[in-house]
Amino acid sequence: EDKVVQSPLSLVVHEGDTVTLNCSYEVTNFRSLLWYKQEKKAPTFLFMLTSSGIEKKSGRLSSILDKKELFSILNITATQTGDSAIYLCAAHTNAGKSTFGDGTTLTVKP
Amino acid sequence: DAGITQSPRHKVTETGTPVTLRCHQTENHRYMYWYRQDPGHGLRLIHYSYGVKDTDKGEVSDGYSVSRSKTEDFLLTLESATSSQTSVYFCAISESYSRAENIQYFGAGTRLSVL
């Protein structure tokens, strides 16, 4: 059975802090690891990772994949209140479907 | 929402009644998915489709059926709704070529309450 585990499940920080969100996966026929952000509505795409060790970066957010150890991390530096959201990771397979983790709820306080 | 429309957006129904949720896309994407989201459970795949009339089960398919007779429409049916099917339902689509097919775009969701 395919499985994706995210940690921590929730996190409360103050503006300016740096956070690291974790995602481990065990899936058959792994193809890619994706991160999504969900703010009280539909999830929106952040990153797609297919190769180990190559960092993807977008502003204050960055992510990396380790295909040997089967995990990924999402870093957010200099957090802002607008970063408050649920962050979901998903492992996508060659069968064309994704298995999602339960998400990390990030709350950034002013 | 990447050309994805879910209808209805909200529905309240009674236990034992049939319910159909509709997902309509204007992107001509090959893959379509139905997920449910419950507190503390992230997104769980119900069914997905990889083409017209080609569908497969996800991890929580019991009590649900789907149909895809046209590229643009993917219907989710609860044959006899139960209270355990109270949830938020998301439809998603993804493309059919290159690595772009891994990225899913989500509709706005349907909030279903079964009383």
Q: What is the pLDDT of residues B53-111, one digit of tens each?
A: 999 999 899 999 999 999 999 999 999 999 999 999 999 999 865 555 688 999 999 99
Distance of alpha carbon B45 from alpha carbon B30, whole angstroms = 17
Which tokens sit at B63?
Answer: 């009590």
Which SS3 state, helix, strand or coil, does residue B78 take? strand
pLDDT value at residue B98: 57
Q: How many CA atoms lie within 13 A of B78 on its CB side?
A: 25
The verdict on a CB contact (< 8 Å) between B58 and A50 is no
Q: Is A35 exposed, middle or buried (0-12, 13-18, 19+ CB in 10 A)?
A: buried
Which tokens sit at A107?
Answer: 């709350």
Closest approach of chain A CAs to the CA of B95, in angstroms? Answer: 10
pLDDT value at residue A88: 97
Q: How confident is the model at residue A72 (pLDDT cuts 50, 70, 90)?
A: very high
In this complex, the residue of B56, B102, B109 whose CB is nearest that of residue A34 is: B102
Which SS3 state, helix, strand or coil, does residue B85 take? helix
Distance of alpha carbon B105 from alpha carbon B107, whole angstroms = 7
Closest approach of chain B CAs to the CA of A42, in angstroms? Answer: 5
In this complex, the residue of A1, A32, A43 whose CB is nearest that of residue B102 is: A32
Closest approach of chain B CAs to the CA of A92, in angstroms? Answer: 7
Distance of alpha carbon A80 from alpha carbon A95, whole angstroms = 37
